[in-house]
Chain A
Amino acid sequence: DTEVTQTPKHLVMGMTNKKSLKCEQHMGHRAMYWYKQKAKKPPELMFVYSYEKLSINESVPSRFSPECPNSSLLNLHLHALQPEDSALYLCASSQDPRAAESYEQYFGPGTRLTVT
């Protein structure tokens, strides 16, 4: 089973709202990722959690705040977003972030975010 789930599927929020995106995997993977993808572009890495610790923050604005409550769950808290933050937000997981041979990343279906 290579399933990563994400909720919600769609989210519309105003610039003053606070919302959260959720991601879950039950594959025993020890790395989880948040990506942002704009139309006709490849995924853009935002954050990496390795063994539940934040290991990569790709200089993402502080209006995006990640959280990893346990090895299966990943959240992305959103606050005071801008219209240009509208995109598909993807969660992914991989087995062992330290080993190149175990670096296959499996993506969830994504959350389509629109900021108005």
Chain B
Amino acid sequence: QKEVEQNSGPLSVPEGAIASLNCTYSDRGSQSFFWYRQYSGKSPELIMSIYSNGDKEDGRFTAQLNKASQYVSLLIRDSQPSDSATYLCAVNSFDGNNRKLIWGLGRSLAVNP
């Protein structure tokens, strides 16, 4: 069973701090990795995609991928109260016939003013 593990306990950081979210995945053949943000009562919103090892930066967000360790992370710099949401890690997995996203459980982030 292909899995994505994400620490699902709530994370609380003060405003202006760096929030760090991580997940590990089991499928070594996975080639694409995504972070979604979901506000309460809303749908998931794609905020970062990463396909190759290393860092990818977009504004205050940095995604990091290490395929050897099967690890993907999201850093949010200068966290704002508006970043308070659930963050979902998703990994593209291919079973020989079909591609689909395998999801982590999500982690709630609270940024305290």
Q: Report which A residues bind B (CB closer than 8 A).
A: 2, 40-43, 45, 48, 55-56, 88, 90, 97-98, 100-101, 103-110
Contact = CB atoms under 8 A, between A and B. Distances in A.
Contacts of A109: 42-43
Given A100-B31, A105-B46, A45 B101 contact: yes
Mostly helix, strand, loop or mixed at chain B's interface?
Answer: strand
B31 A101 contact: yes
B61 interface: no
Mostly helix, strand, loop or mixed at chain A's interface?
Answer: loop
13 contacts: A2-B46, A42-B88, A42-B104, A43-B44, A43-B88, A90-B44, A100-B94, A100-B99, A103-B92, A103-B99, A105-B46, A107-B46, A110-B43
Interface string B26-40: 000001101000000
Interface residues of B, number: 22
Contacts, number: 56
Given A55-B98, A100-B31, A100-B99, A42 B43 contact: no
Contacts of B94: 100
B30 to A, nearest CB: 8
Given A43-B44, A105-B46, A100 B32 contact: yes
Given A100-B51, A101-B32, A107 B99 contact: no
